[in-house]
Amino acid sequence: MQIEILGCESFGARSLACAVKTGERKILIDPGVALARLRYGLLPHPVEIAAALRIRKRILAAFEGTTDVVISHYHGDHMPMKAEDPYQLPVEALPSLEGISFWCKGPEKISGLSARRRKELSHFLGFSLPASEGTDFDGISFSAPVPHGTKDKGFGTVMMTRVSEGDDVFVHSSDIQLLDRDTVLEIVAWKPTVVFASGPPLYLSHHVPEASKEAFENALLLARNVDTLILDHHLLRSFEGYRWLKELAGKVENTVLCAAEFMGEKPELLEAKRKILYEKLSVPRGWHESYARGETGLEEGLL
């Protein structure tokens, strides 16, 4: 089994995209990328936009040879979108999808916005998207809907993916954020060797006060039952999250690391650094509007 992580916050933009190769299959999971519209009251810095473009190129290149595409839920950092945001992956940029099977989160327990995006993607593809929760096909299994973060807080649900080949079991647990014990126990029951998941959103601790302590206990449980635990996404939208990750890694014998480290790269927490980026590299007034219209390139934003 070969696992390639294509995008994540430790690569500089919001994503949880990866590709998994097993025998004759190549499974592309959550092919999406996005940037926070505002952070510290600031629009995305051009350095972040450049990182998002690099991830977009990786994702588009990964469609070559892909046999299966999985969409865990319908947030813009997890799926190709109808062109409406210059920082995301537009569906219009997708290559030919002929012969690719789609496995998707169903229409149950999602927001009105997610339902609209699901319909838009279906319309673009030209066929109805399946509701894949709870199904199992040729080494790929999908969970029933599990909470997007804390259960019963109104954040909707996501679909987890299990891919197996011989003794190797990879689990993509999407935006669970380690905030629901039952979900973590479900992952453990799948007996994974590698888990790729979103850690808790510590940068939103004022909205999710239970994020750090409860998630840390769940992370310890998971880390002790998997050879390699890759935590990223919401967790690495702050420097506090990276410290949290290293504290966790120091308490277990198994491997715990972020996506960039798993891929042998240096972490670049660009969203967390947005204020610093603006201080070091000024951005001309009106640059974002000009960039969105296609009138300005990235080089003009790095003055």
pLDDT digits (tens, 9 = 90+) for 212-259: 789 999 999 999 999 999 999 999 999 999 999 999 999 999 999 999
Nearest CA-CA partner of 4 in 50, 66, 97? 66
What type of residue is 207? H
Say which residues have a Cβ less than 8 Å from residue 110's Cβ, sequence separation at least 6.
73, 74, 118, 156, 157
Helix axes 211-223, 181-189, angle to 10 degrees: 10
- Is residue 103 within 8 A of residue 70, CB to CB? The reply is yes
Write out the H or E segment, with its range, that includes residue 260: helix 259-262
- Dihedral, CA atoms, 212, 8, 278, 301, nearest 10 degrees? -170
- What average pLDDT score do residues 266-294 get? 95
Per-residue pLDDT at 154 exceeds 90: no
pLDDT tens digits along 58-113: 999 999 999 999 999 999 999 999 877 899 999 999 999 999 999 999 998 899 99
Rounded CA separation 101/86 (Å): 27
CA distance 251 to 67: 39
Q: In the chain, pLDDT over 90 holds for what percent of residues?
A: 87
| pLDDT over 90 at 302, yes or no | no
What does each C-alpha distance from 82 to 52, 76, 100, 225, 292 come to in angstroms?
A: 17, 10, 19, 39, 15
Residue 229 has a pLDDT of 98
CA atoms of 235 and 238, how far apart (whole Å): 7
Provide the pLDDT confidence category of residue 127 given band limits of 50, 70 and 90.
very high
pLDDT for 190 beyond 90: yes
pLDDT for 212 equals 79
Residue 270 CA: distances (Å) to CA of 24, 240, 256, 276, 297: 36, 14, 21, 9, 19
Helices assigned H by DSSP within 23-82: 46-62
Beta bridge partners of 39: 42
Q: What sign does the CA torsion over 262, 265, 271, 273 have?
A: positive
The yes-or-no verdict on residue 210 having pLDDT over 90 is no
> Per-residue pLDDT for 196 more than 90?
yes
pTM of the model: 0.96
**How many CB atoms neighbour CB 86 within 10 A?**
15
Lowest-pLDDT choice from 195-209, 214-228, 272-286: 195-209
